[in-house]
A and B are shown apart, each in its own frame.
Chain A
Amino acid sequence: MSQKGLVIKEKIVSESPRDHLIRKERFPHIWCPGCGLGTVLKCYVEAIAASSIPEDKHVVISGIGCTGRIAGYVRLDSYHVTHGRPIAFAEGMKIVRPDLEVTVISGDGDLVTIGGNHFIHAIRRNVDINVFLVNNFIYGMTGNQMGSTTPLGAKSSTSPYGCPEPPFNLPLLAAALGAPFVARWTTLHTRQLAEAMKKAFQVKGFALIEIISPCPVGFGSYNELREGKDYIKLFLENCIVDHSADLNKAAISLRPGEPIILGNFIQREMPSYHDFELEVFKKAGWLK
């Protein structure tokens, strides 16, 4: 959380050309020092500015949690819905308004733990939405409880003896479900991340980017990553970029010597839910 009573008297930076995409009146934001979410927000805004899609057609939908607050800081049509449900909300919106560029930005706990069912089914249907899943390995906002992405053995407020469950390997899961675009980057890889986001806007169908993001105040405080720079060191020393990696080996353990594999793993063309629905409209007689 931001520090109460902190008054910034001087104007530190000049206006940014992206300011019109940020609800600055809502700052200071709630994110902790060292958090990666500001970087995710910046990359998203850069990708929107660089996309050929009009800003008014971009919609962002978030669930609950630290990442869920992104919807509130972006000056776009933005919806902050119930815990685990932004993908289902996005599906309803995209199906009735295929012209909108609908992006879900939410956390790991929100999207693949409580919301896991919607995640797998939206990919199976290949609904044309973008999901930017920020993975910090923990439930930050509620006080650092373990989740379905917490590495085996990692500590948290509800895994004092080490997480007793293996985590999801999300790129493998999404690829197995048939997603046409699957990528993973960290908040250190800002250019690659913004580029992947731009690609995701262009993808026909479901595009997933897993974004590995630091949480020094939460996850890090339990797992020897107490400073933002500890995460940067972790990313610098352990990340391997391999676009054609074997996704069976892409699980994240955070154990020394075991890499975090990054890349734009899957890029393929396939029919989306919208194409399937047009076929239904033809069979029903609505379309010729």
Chain B
Amino acid sequence: MSSELRLLKPGTYFMMGNIACAEAALIAGCEFYAGYPITPSNEIAEHMSRRMPQLGRHFIQMEDEIGSIVAVLGASAAGVKAMTATSGPGFSLMMETIGLSAMLELPCVIIDVQRAGPSTGIPTFVGQGDVMQARWGSHGDYELVVYAPSAVQEFFDLTIEAFNTSEWLRIPVVVLSDEVVGHMYGRLVVPEYDKIKIVNRKRYNGPKDQYLPYSCEALVPPFVAAGDGYRIHMTGLTHDERGYPSLEIEDSHKLIDRLVMKVRKNSKHLWKYETLYADDADVVVVTFGITARSTEEAVKRARAEGLKVGMIKLLTLWPFPEDPVKIASQYARRLLVAEINMGQLIHPVREVAECPVAGINYPVGYAPPPEYILDGIRAAV
């Protein structure tokens, strides 16, 4: 058997972000990939089209992004881990079905390699304009988890984490990458497999007559797949614990409450972030994705100049990591939010901050150079 017919072996690699993401999905146990061509996410689909059949798994190029994510849910309903990858315009088309994933509680992973926008924008340039859409894009009340990598290693790690979280909570999970992180080559360390945590959705195998597919007994009900013999019914209509459509206020309330609370009540387990010099800083920059790389350099230069500056790199954007930002704001005089857009992540930061908050915005299709962020820091200090 050639080495191609296996998962990526533990070891150190120099690899493109998008390809590291695809290899991570294979290790996480992704059995089905459906996608539609779109820049700058294409390397994920291209790599999956070669690798999935080598492992006896399924790759399909669908007719559009709507078909892609819906097919992903069909595969998930059959009990397998499934994913898609896209960029802004395709992500917009997927919004309705992200709501269906939340409502049916069918796990799936969506990779959004953000590009410059709005609309067609600049497909080959970077953007971070999908922060709010990732959280609020589908109609109605639901919650999901959004991770944001800033490096090849993080793209790999967070893709596995995305599968784990989606399986654990039975929710859609978005990895909000960006063009630079997707296309950059960087160091990747694949740990020994027994050191990689893999989560599989909890399955029900009890008596058939007692199964309640949307039981409110726990926040996350156990799953049965099509063909398991439970004769399950799933509907995007508001439903009761049996999965049947219901107009009863009590059923609606219990369902929506559970869909939201399974994320909210687990927020602290879902928050991932890293801090740098944040303990004694007068000014703390909150940032994520590729902007965090520029910010790290800017913060180090500011420290060399004697400025008391720190940073918080958010790896989880939603649910928003309130505590670290709130704590930083209790010691700092000012928080800055650096992002490649006209101000999106700044809103949840403002919501929790106890000091003034300002934005460093760079919506021009490039990662901001460290000097640009340093200028923003100097102005704030």
In the bound complex, residues from chain B placing their C-beta under 8 Å from that of A94 are 74
Tell me, yes or no, whether B67 is within 8 Å of chain A by CB. Answer: yes
Shortest CB-to-CB span from A174 to chain B, Å, is 16
Interface code B214-237, partner A: CB below 8 Å = 1, 0 otherwise?
000000000000111111111111
**B55-63, B111-119, B158-166, B262-270: which one contacts chain A?**
B55-63
Tell me, yes or no, whether B28 is within 8 Å of chain A by CB. Answer: no
Task: Tell whether, in the assembled complex, residue A97 and residue B227 are in contact, meaning their CB atoms are under 8 Å apart.
Answer: yes
In the bound complex, residues from chain B placing their C-beta under 8 Å from that of A93 are 74-75, 77-78, 226
Q: Interface of chain B, helix or strand or loop or mixed?
A: mixed
Tell me, yes or no, whether B96 is within 8 Å of chain A by CB. Answer: yes
| Smallest Cβ-Cβ distance to B100: which chain A residue | A82
Of B63, B70, B79, B233, the residue contacting A80 (CB under 8 A) is B233
Task: Tell whether, in the assembled complex, residue B233 and residue A96 are in contact, meaning their CB atoms are under 8 Å apart.
Answer: no
Cα–Cα, bound, A262→B56 (Å): 42
Task: Tell whether, in the assembled complex, residue A59 and residue B227 are in contact, meaning their CB atoms are under 8 Å apart.
Answer: yes
Task: Tell whether, in the assembled complex, residue A80 and residue B237 are in contact, meaning their CB atoms are under 8 Å apart.
Answer: yes
In the bound complex, residues from chain B placing their C-beta under 8 Å from that of A277 are 53, 58
In the bound complex, residues from chain B placing their C-beta under 8 Å from that of A82 are 70, 96-97, 100, 236
Tell me, yes or no, whether B245 is within 8 Å of chain A by CB. Answer: yes
Tell me, yes or no, whether B72 is within 8 Å of chain A by CB. Answer: yes
Tell me, yes or no, whether B34 is within 8 Å of chain A by CB. Answer: yes
Of B63, B70, B78, the residue contacting A96 (CB under 8 A) is B78
In the bound complex, residues from chain A placing their C-beta under 8 Å from that of B32 are 92, 95-96
| Smallest Cβ-Cβ distance to B58: which chain A residue | A95
Interface code A221-239, partner B: CB below 8 Å = 1, 0 otherwise?
0000000000000000000
Q: Interface of chain A, helix or strand or loop or mixed?
A: helix
Tell me, yes or no, whether A198 is within 8 Å of chain B by CB. Answer: no
Shortest CB-to-CB span from A261 to chain B, Å, is 29
Tell me, yes or no, whether B244 is within 8 Å of chain A by CB. Answer: yes
In the bound complex, residues from chain A placing their C-beta under 8 Å from that of B31 are 96
Task: Tell whether, in the assembled complex, residue A78 and residue B234 are in contact, meaning their CB atoms are under 8 Å apart.
Answer: yes
Tell me, yes or no, whether B82 is within 8 Å of chain A by CB. Answer: yes
Task: Tell whether, in the assembled complex, residue B70 and residue A77 are in contact, meaning their CB atoms are under 8 Å apart.
Answer: no
Of A25, A72, A79, A117, the residue contacting B64 (CB under 8 A) is A117
Shortest CB-to-CB span from B61 to chain A, Å, is 10
In the bound complex, residues from chain A placing their C-beta under 8 Å from that of B63 are 117-118, 120-121
Task: Tell whether, in the assembled complex, residue B75 and residue A286 are in contact, meaning their CB atoms are under 8 Å apart.
Answer: no
Tell me, yes or no, whether A10 is within 8 Å of chain B by CB. Answer: no
Between B70, B96, B244, the greatest number of chain A beta carbons within 10 A of the residue's beta carbon is seen for B70
**A35-43, A83-91, A189-197, A252-260: which one contacts chain B?**
A83-91
Tell me, yes or no, whether B4 is within 8 Å of chain A by CB. Answer: yes
Cα–Cα, bound, A280→B51 (Å): 11
Task: Tell whether, in the assembled complex, residue B226 and residue A59 are in contact, meaning their CB atoms are under 8 Å apart.
Answer: yes
| Smallest Cβ-Cβ distance to B59: which chain A residue | A280
Interface residues of B in 92-136 (CB under 8 A from A): 96-97, 100, 104
In the bound complex, residues from chain A placing their C-beta under 8 Å from that of B73 are 81, 89, 92
Known: A117-B63, A277-B58. A80 touches B234 (CB 8 A): yes
Tell me, yes or no, whether A284 is within 8 Å of chain B by CB. Answer: yes
In the bound complex, residues from chain A placing their C-beta under 8 Å from that of B64 are 117
Tell me, yes or no, whether B327 is within 8 Å of chain A by CB. Answer: no
In the bound complex, residues from chain B placing their C-beta under 8 Å from that of A77 are 226-228, 230-232
Task: Tell whether, in the assembled complex, residue B245 and residue A91 are in contact, meaning their CB atoms are under 8 Å apart.
Answer: no
Tell me, yes or no, whether A285 is within 8 Å of chain B by CB. Answer: yes
Tell me, yes or no, whether B71 is within 8 Å of chain A by CB. Answer: yes
Tell me, yes or no, whether A172 is within 8 Å of chain B by CB. Answer: no
Task: Tell whether, in the assembled complex, residue A88 and residue B236 are in contact, meaning their CB atoms are under 8 Å apart.
Answer: no
Interface code A94-129, partner B: CB below 8 Å = 1, 0 otherwise?
111101100000000000000001101100000000
Interface code B1-31, partner A: CB below 8 Å = 1, 0 otherwise?
1101100000000000000000000000001
Cα–Cα, bound, A23→B4 (Å): 48
Shortest CB-to-CB span from B351 to chain A, Å, is 31
Of B34, B68, B100, B244, the residue contacting A26 (CB under 8 A) is B244
Shortest CB-to-CB span from B113 to chain A, Å, is 22
Tell me, yes or no, whether A138 is within 8 Å of chain B by CB. Answer: no
Tell me, yes or no, whether B80 is within 8 Å of chain A by CB. Answer: yes
Interface residues of A in 238-259 (CB under 8 A from B): none
In the bound complex, residues from chain A placing their C-beta under 8 Å from that of B2 are 285
Tell me, yes or no, whether B66 is within 8 Å of chain A by CB. Answer: yes
Cα–Cα, bound, A80→B1 (Å): 42
Q: Sample 10 A-B pairs with CB under 8 A, ordered by A number.
A: A56-B229, A79-B233, A82-B70, A85-B66, A88-B70, A91-B67, A92-B72, A92-B76, A100-B226, A121-B67
Tell me the A residues contacting B by CB distance below 8 Å: 23, 25-26, 56-57, 59, 61, 71-72, 75-82, 85, 88-97, 99-100, 117-118, 120-121, 277, 280-281, 283-287
4 more A-B residue pairs beyond the given contacts A76-B231, A285-B54, with a C-beta to C-beta distance below 8 A: A72-B244, A77-B228, A121-B62, A277-B58
